[in-house]
Structure 1
Amino acid sequence: MHIDLRQLRHFIALAEHRSFVAAADAVCLSQSAFSRSIQALEHSAGCRLVDRASKELNPTKQGLIVLEHARRLVSGAHKLANEIALFNGLEAGELRFGAGPAPAAWLVPRAIAAFNGRYPKARVAFQVEHWQVLGKRLQGEDFEFFVADTRHFEANPEYRTLRLKPRKWHFCCRPGHPLAGRGTVSAAELLSYPIATNLSPPNLRKVLVDLSGRPDFRPDIECENGHGLNAVVLASNAIGIASGLGQGVGEPLVALTVAELPEDLEELHTRYGIVYRAGYSLSPLAEAMIGELQRIDEETV
């Protein structure tokens, strides 16, 4: 079987997007060219790799085997290129990592700015997702590490975690909101307004469930983009949630104190960290980026 890394990348994209149109768009190819690439890979493998009769375009049994090896080969090719470039003193290469919505709003941009100053020739690509998707993509070797909530990874021997400093988060509203001038508000008063947030951090979901008294809680406005949610809060009477670091509290959102929530409640604090796979060595570029993330986190009060 002839191995073509470009075709393997296209097959990985198809497995992720489950659509020839979306996958072709993701790799910047026309649909016809993308289809020919998948067909060429199947011809080389001597079998069908995708069940075209299924709506989800599931990989066949042979396709699953090829997909597993394809991810390893593509990831290995990236690491090889990075290490050779650094060994040659080029300080170039490509770094791919993931981030949760909150770290992506304040920590990651600052780290990338510092990193880019040190490695101006290096290409950086980071994906913003919630922790469940980040875990799957890390296992699929789509990137080397991610920075997000670590609760579900700390006790798992398949991962290594590096904790960042805990940050307190707050309910918040726009200046001029009916609750903005209050020293303390009750849970009932808070929940009488629409809640605009994402529910990715498990601690956040628990607090909202406890405050509302419901077996489950779904926000009135839900989005994984923190800046988008803050824009909604600033333009309406919706209540948002922010950590106070680059997410709006005090600039210009107003933090709210809820009477039913003790100040030292563990669930009121973030538990972010850096997660990577156990038994896998990080590239020099990944180690450099992690160093910047840790430094900026430590220096930020």
Structure 2
Amino acid sequence: MNDDRDAHRRQLWGVAFMCVGVFAFTFQDLIIKGISSTYPAHEIVFIRSFLALPFTLLIAWFETGLHRLNTPRLPAHMLRGALFFLAYTLYYLGIAALPLAMAVAISFAAPLFITALAGPLLGEKVGKIRWLAVILGFIGVVIVMKDGLGQLEWAVVLPAASAFCYALGQLHGRHIGATESASTMSVYVNVVFFLLSGLAGLIIGSGEFAQWSHPSLAFLLRAWIWPSTHDLLLMLGCGVAATIGIYCLGQGYRMAEANLAAIFEYTALPWAILWGFLFFSQLPGFSTLAGVGLVVFAGIVIAIRERPRRTALRGNET
């Protein structure tokens, strides 16, 4: 009886961590969208990563000790970090031009890509029900994207491409996660973000190529400028929010069953709608909400179907 109560409490804590982590990331999205018309994306990522790195090192020190950072799988960490850098950069470029709710909704394609790619990349068996859910989810994503495509807004492709890169990064994380700790993986992701955003600044940070008026391209190619104290604090907020988000999502997936934790990632949508309405006077249209409904339904079906598969795998391992 006590074991059941402890397990239930652990699940609740896991769900709470998921909700806090998702909120932290949507808060970061709000800040980035708010300053996307002033600074380039790579400058924001550079400062955010620079400020977040000490926090991730501190977490790694407390959880496993810094000696775990000395790993023979450094190239694998670099590849994972590069995939996530590409994923987050594409997503940030998308939210510069799209309503927050639309960008978040399209990014929900990530679990669909993970399920679709798990077979060919990891050899995982995907049943008929999960394949049907994937197809249904992608139909929902297309419906959401059509809201923007109807206005010839090509930026809707950016969060979809971001979701694809994010899925590749997560699948690669499954591959190396058997031997690497979550805190070690988090540290190296931040290191790669810092290095690649700094490299991008050296290549295009002069503003030489900033000849485009489209919000996404302007956000990518704008020249670096020294941030005001107010904006520097906002970027610090991004670093703190990202650190909290990464830690809480990691704890959420560790403490709650993965299928249950995954469902609570969809709590990002109401926050995105609220931020979009309060700060940018944006509300999603009916077709966006309809498409979101299909994507969320598909994601929940996939998450639920994951449970018996994971249970069976655990049974085969014992």
TM-score computed with the length of structure 2 as normaliser: 0.24
- The structure whose Rg is larger is 1
Query: Whose helix fraction is larger, Structure 1's or Structure 2's?
Result: 2
Query: Whose strand fraction is larger, Structure 1's or Structure 2's?
Result: 1
TM-score computed with the length of structure 1 as normaliser: 0.25
